[in-house]
Every structure is written in structure tokens, then in C-alpha cells.
Amino acid sequence: MNSLLGFVKIRSRENRIKTIHSSLAIEQCTLSLEQVSDVINEKRVLAPPKEIQEVKNAYEAYEKLHKLAPYSLKDLLTAHKYMMSNLVSEAGTFRSRGVGVYAGEQLIHAGTPAQYVPETMKDLFGWLKESKLHPLIKSCVFHYEFEFIHPFEDGNGRTGRLWHSLILQRWKVFLPGSQ
């Protein structure tokens, strides 16, 4: 039985490293899977310090995911703080100004105006908690709405993916990253 448990822990860690690598790659992190693994294993990696910090932060966030409640707005802010610590000035708080998503110079999405973010997020979390939809559908709708609101200065994509994983893990504990 111990060898099976050891195998599961190794596979879980490998999946977590792959999840972190792919989530950060979406955000233009240039580290390879091997480099991400080396950073997590505290080996020296020759890479931009910002990208190394992104990996360390993401690993910490995923390691603490099992302690977070999917319906807690306070826990979402905590997760964002883990994810964006030493990367942005507003880590762990909703943004204080407007943000947008750009394709080159062209604005393709403007986030909810900053003054409406706290109330909009409170409403979204209320819906998440009360919705009777199937958990898979609910997690997808939540993720879409979260990214549409764009509640943070930066780190919306990686925090949204982290939270999407949390919702799914609470539904089916065997999904990657579950503790």
C-alpha cells in the first residue's frame, strides 16, 4: 500500500508541475517544463528573476489550494496574494484602476470598472454558492465571468485557472491537484 501511495504522490506532484508550467506559459513565461521543475525543486535556474518568482508563487498557491474554500471571497484574495506576491503592488486586493486585455495596440476587452469590482465579485461568489447547476457547468460559468470581470491588476488568468481547479477538485477529489 505504501508504494501505491508513493506513486500517487509522485504523479500528483508531476501533474502539479505540468499545471503550473502550462498556466504560466499562457502568460508568456518562457521557462521550460524542466526549468519549472528545477525551480520548484530549489535548483539553480538561469532565467529572468520575474519568471522564477512566478513559478515559486504558483507552486505556493497550488500547495495551499486544499486549505482554501471555493465559495470564500476572502480566500480568493489570499490565493491572488500567493500567486502575485513580489510581482504586483496590489497582490491580494482588487484592482484600484481600469484594466484591459490587448492584442498588440488594440483593446479587445475592458474589465469591469474598478469601483464595481468588489460588489460584482461578491455577487458572483453568491451565485457560485447558491447555484444548483451541475458543478462542471458552474465552474465553467464562474471562470468565464471571473475573467470577464478581471478583478485584479494582473494575474487574472492564472488566479482564475487556480480557482477553476479548486471548484472542480471539491466536486471530484480525484482531479489533478487534489489532496
Annotate 88-123 with DSSP letters as a single string.
Answer: -TTTTS--SS--EEEETTEEEEEPPPGGGHHHHHHH
pLDDT given at position 172: 80
Whether the pLDDT of residue 178 is over 50: the answer is no
Residue from 55, 69, 65, 73 nearest 18 by CA: 55
pLDDT given at position 101: 87
| Mean confidence (pLDDT) of the chain | 91
Q: What confidence tens digit (pLDDT) does each residue in 75-94 have?
A: 999 999 999 999 999 999 99
Average pLDDT over residues 9-26: 86
pLDDT given at position 11: 65
**Residue 148 near residue 131 (C-beta atoms within 8 A):** no
